[in-house]
Amino acid sequence: MKIIGLNASPKGKDSNTLRLVNAVLAGAKDAGAETELVDIYTLRIEHCTACGTCYAKGECTLLDDFPDLFESMMNADGIVLGAPNYVDCVPAPMKAVFDRMADAIHCQMLTGKFGCSVCTAGGSGEHEVVGYMNKVLMTLGANVVGGIGVAIGRDPAALGKAEKEARELGKRLARSIRGEISYPEQDEGHRQRREYFCQLVKNNKDKFAHEYDWYVQMGWMK
């Protein structure tokens, strides 16, 4: 069982968001998981140009660190997303990662994986950002096990409490991966989403050749 944590804070080792991501990973490790931490700000992730090559060939024309990051995500059973609140959204490097995953969304490539999100903020918006990141995970096909947002500006002591909650969230993530916790409503949502994208890919078979082959290979093409 492997869980990867993505931290999208520019503050490096001084990042409050990093403390939450590390707490989730520590809880998961306590529950038997192998963990990996990735600092998004150390990577070069170019902006998506909407060329459509990934739909057609399963490749990207941009040469940067995204392929290695995505491979690590695909090799993981669980994914933890961490970001500070930047105007009620994630910082640009994390958004760039999301934007490069259009092909993965069409193909529902995170099906069978589990994830969660954490966010730190100064005064507000933390829960909105957690909700956004968790929605991204679900849109990619993953089941979401929870999330934690904390506004440190209102109460600096709140971060310590949030770290304890994050550690428990990591344990829940590991338990979910082991099959000890089920998410039937999310599973049904994923089924409906796969059917939608399957039809989309089928209707655009000529343009989305790679994605059509993916659905056939997965046994999802109807």
Q: What is the pLDDT of residues 111-136, one digit of tens each?
A: 999 999 999 999 899 999 999 999 99
Is residue 194 situated within a structural domain? no
Number of domains in the chain: 1
pLDDT score for 155: 87
Q: How far is CA 199 from CA 108, 116, 203, 217, in A?
A: 13, 28, 6, 15
Is residue 129 situated within a structural domain? yes
pLDDT score for 49: 97
Euclidean distance between CA atoms 14 and 84, whole angstroms:
13
Q: How far is CA 63 from CA 46, 60, 66, 67, 74, in A?
A: 8, 8, 8, 9, 19
pLDDT score for 154: 81
Query: pLDDT, tens digit, for every residue of 88-112?
Result: 999 999 999 999 999 999 999 999 9
Is residue 197 situated within a structural domain? no
Q: Is the dihedral of CA 115, 118, 124, 125 positive or negative?
A: negative
pLDDT score for 40: 98
**Cβ atoms within 10 Å of 34's Cβ, excluding its own:** 13
Is residue 190 situated within a structural domain? no
pLDDT score for 217: 96
pLDDT score for 73: 98
Is residue 199 situated within a structural domain? no
Q: What is the dihedral of CA 80, 83, 89, 92, to 10 degrees?
A: -100
pLDDT score for 37: 98
How would you classify residue 82: left for phi > 0, otherwise alpha for psi between -120 and 50, otherwise beta? beta
Query: pLDDT, tens digit, for every residue of 196-211?
Result: 999 999 999 999 999 9
User: What's the whole-number average pLDDT of the chain?
Assistant: 97
- pTM for the predicted model, two decimal places: 0.97
Is residue 120 situated within a structural domain? yes
pLDDT score for 159: 95
Is residue 210 situated within a structural domain? no
Query: Coil, strand, or helix at residue 116?
Result: strand
Is residue 93 situated within a structural domain? yes
Euclidean distance between CA atoms 57 and 42, whole angstroms:
28
In this predicted structure, the answer to whether residue 156 has a pLDDT above a threshold of 90 is no
- Please report the beta strands in the chain, taking only residues with DSSP state E, as ranges in sequence order: 2-7, 34-39, 78-84, 114-121, 143-151
CATH of the domain at 155: 3.40.50.360
Query: Coil, strand, or helix at residue 105?
Result: helix
In this predicted structure, the answer to whether residue 213 has a pLDDT above a threshold of 90 is yes
- Assign 19 a pLDDT band (cuts: 50, 70, 90): very high
Quote the domain boundaries for residue 65. Answer: 2-182
